[in-house]
Every structure is written in C-alpha cells, then in structure tokens.
Structure 1
Amino acid sequence: MPSRRRARTSATSVFLVLGLAIAGYALHSAGLLPPAQADGAATSGPDATSGPDATSGPDATSDPGPGSTASASAASEPSRASSPDPDATASLRLLATLPVKGKAPATGYDRTAQFGTAWLDVDHNGCDTRNDVLARDLTAVVRQGPCRVMTGTLVSPYTGGSIAFTRGQTTSTEVQIDHVVALENAWRTGAQQLSQTSREALANDPANLFAVDQHSNAQKRSGDAATWLPAAKGFRCTYVGHQVVVKAKYRLWVTPAERDAMIRVLDRC
C-alpha cells in the first residue's frame, strides 16, 4: 500500500508541474508575461574607435592647407554631458593603449627625405593629396580639370572663421593643409622606426589632415596637444580624437604631458 500511495503522489506532482508549465507558456504567448532579459545585456555602449583626419607647415611649392568640413565657434565651449560622448570614450580607451615616454631627438628629421614630397598621390586616384583635401573640406569648389581646386570656401575648423580660397601665387597660402599629428612630432615619437612607405602614408593620410587657416597652421608648427590646441574649443574633441587614432594606427607614442593634455580635453567632451 505505501508503494502505491508514493506512486500516486509522484504522478500527481508530475501532472502539476506540466500543468503549470503549459499555463505559463500560454500566458507568455498571449503577451501577459514580460520577456526575460539576458544576463549582462547592456542598454547602451560606445562604438569602437571613430574617427575622430606630423610636422605642420605650409607647402611652399603648392598651395598648402589641411582640411575638415567641421566648423566650430571659438567662443563656445562644449558642455559636459551627463555621460561621456561615445567617441570621446573610445578615444580615451585607445589613448590608454599608447606607450608613454619622452620624445626622441629630432636628429635627422627632414620632411621630404623621411615623409616624401608634398604632396603625393598615395591613393592613386590621379590627384595629389592637397587637392584631395581641398576638395573634401571646401564648399562651392570649382576645379580646373578633374583635380586642381581653383576656388572654394573654407570654414577653418581651428577658428570657425570663413575663408574665400582662390588659387594663386599670393593667395593659395591662405588655406593650408595641417598634419594633425605634426610630422616632426611623429618623427620624435616613433616614426623613425617606420618604413619609408609607412611614413609617406602617415604624411598623406586623410585622417591626419585638415584644411585650415594660415595663421593657425603657422602658430601650431610641430606642437602636440600639450603645447597647442585649436582656438575653436568646440573642435578640440575631434582634433584630439584624430591625434589618438593616428598615433595608434602608426604605432607612435605620447609624452606624459601630451597624454595628460589629451585626457583633459577628452574628459570634457
């Protein structure tokens, strides 16, 4: 008798469990129960690096100038959001992976010898890098032929000021192509170990180039983030983000002061 009673109890338990399972399934299918959430599912998260374009300085033989279409007001400072901007967060993470050490001597630095003449056609599209950047960063562009930019309008990302560009012996230099990571800075922070091909790629990489106003380019020279930042504070996040990406891409390092300056900028984005 006890054995039969235990068997009947076990059978009843099984039917009860099955009944509850079937009822739960029916309620879920009817939308009366909320869906389960996966463990550790993030509601949001920054994208991987974005990107955020070496010695800066005008090219004497052809119109100099780096370019970015972004315009920024020098008077406005970006407000700090309650959560970090995704691009800034990605830049900070990437910055944390860069080696930190002092600058190497500038001995042996030569723009043309180490980084190629200004400007090359490294992407083999038939146009030199300067004309590519002018066409990218200026508006209302008028060309002569498929490449040669003759006129256009630049809003310098470094100041927010507008410049009417006209190609000519005395006017071309008003718009110059700036290397975000100056070539001399690159040379002193690891580019000496790069191949000639890699250095030429760095000097012509669109991510490392902005079309800017002549004054800003001359003022910056080969400065890093610790010694020079754009007057347009709203553009500094983009500017420093590009520096981080370029340094990581070409396996360059940052100095302690440079890293600290980058962190200060990115923390405010």
Structure 2
Amino acid sequence: MFGSPWPDVDGNDCGTRDDILARDLDDVTRDEDGCTVESGTLTEDPFTGATIDFVRGGPSEVDIDHLVALSDAWQKGARTWEPAKRIALANDPLNLLAVDAGANRQKGDADAATWLPSHQPYRCTYAAAQVAVKQKYELWVTEAEKQALARILGDCPDTELPQGDTPTTAPPEFSAPD
C-alpha cells in the first residue's frame, strides 16, 4: 500500500535506500553506477550509539528505519490517503534514517509511547522527528503517544523540529494499489 520498495522518487536516478545510506553513512563508496552504496560506516548509530560498518551483501547490520513506521501511519490516518501520499511518506528523507538493524527490528511498528532508542542522547531528536513527520502528513497520535512525546521534549525545550522540503505526494509516475 506504500508503493514498491525504494523507488527513485526524487528523480536523481538513485533509489531512496541508497540516497539515505549515502546521506547517513561516512566514508561511502559507490558502485560504478554512482548510486549503489557498496560500503560505509554508520558512525554513532542514532538508536544504539554504536559504530557499524556497512558492506552491501554482507550481514544485514544497517537498516533504513521509517521513523514513523508505515504500519503506525496506516493505523493513524494513512489508510484513507491517495496512493501518491503514502508513497511520499514511505520515501520522505524526513522520515528515514540509517540505523542499527537489530534496534530497528526491535522497534518494529511501535510509536514513541511504546519504544524509544536506547541511546539516550538521541531521544530528543527522535521525538522531534516523530512530531515533524506526523505534523507534515497530518497523522494523529494516541493520548499515550502524545504524553510520551511531551515528556521527552519537555526535557529538551530547545530541540527544534527538523524541516523536510519534499512534497507530501509522489510524482504521478509512481503508483500503489488503492
């Protein structure tokens, strides 16, 4: 319902996954196509604080996380959207982050009321990103989620919401089943 995985929605001839890997990893090497990220280092993983080496085709230790999980988005408003808006959310750099695979899989489709990164220094940034994505896409939050976000952000009042400049609908050439 959120389109095919990792299309090139921004028109740079590279899939979204490789765009995010290139943005979030250090010492990136790419294949001869100029898009495919072959290796890099996730320095201070946001979720765990660990440093993780990424090698394409090696053990899956780096995932691309949807900060607002697609299942969570579906439950909180996305089920009523046009396909283009769901595709935009699934590929919006504001909602995507390279992270430790194990932590990402532990998170699953949890919201901020039920899961937070174990890496304490990242929690304010994580909560701010959750709010920014949910505001941008007009997703609702549960009362428990609202309280958790308020508690976290109350501890860091100077944390600003990240800004995303990508549109909330994908280009017309991308489609997903209704």
Unpaired stretches in structure 1, ≥5 consecutive residues: 1-113
1:135 paired with 2:22, answer: yes
Larger Rg: 1 or 2?
1
Q: TM-score, normalised by structure 2?
A: 0.85
Paired position in structure 1 for 2:170: none
Give the RMSD, CA atoms, in angstroms.
0.8
Paired position in structure 2 for 1:147: 35
Please give the residue correspondences for 1:80-99 in structure 2 after superposition, counting only pairs within 5 Å: none
SS of equivalent to 1:229:
coil
Q: Distance in 2 between matches of 1:121 and 1:151?
A: 20
CA drift at 1:232: 0.8
What are the Cα deviations for residues 132-165 of structure 1, in whole angstroms up to 9, with x where unaligned? 0000000000000210000110021111100111
Unpaired stretches in structure 2, ≥5 consecutive residues: 157-178
CA drift at 1:174: 0.9
Displaced runs of 4 or more, over 3 A: none
Structure having the higher helix fraction is: 1
Paired position in structure 2 for 1:252: 139
Q: TM-score, normalised by structure 1?
A: 0.56
1:193 to 50, 66, 80: 80
1:159 paired with 2:48, answer: yes
> Which structure ranks higher in relative contact order (CA pairs < 8 Å, sequence separation ≥ 6)?
1
Please give the residue correspondences for 1:196-207 in structure 2 after superposition, counting only pairs within 5 Å: 196-207=83-94
1:264 to 146, 151, 155: 151
Q: Distance in 2 between matches of 1:201 and 1:221?
A: 20
CA drift at 1:118: 1.3
Paired residues, number: 154
CA drift at 1:224: 0.2
Q: Distance in 2 between matches of 1:210 and 1:231?
A: 16
CA drift at 1:192: 1.1
Q: Distance in 1 between matches of 2:133 and 2:81?
A: 14
CA drift at 1:120: 1.1
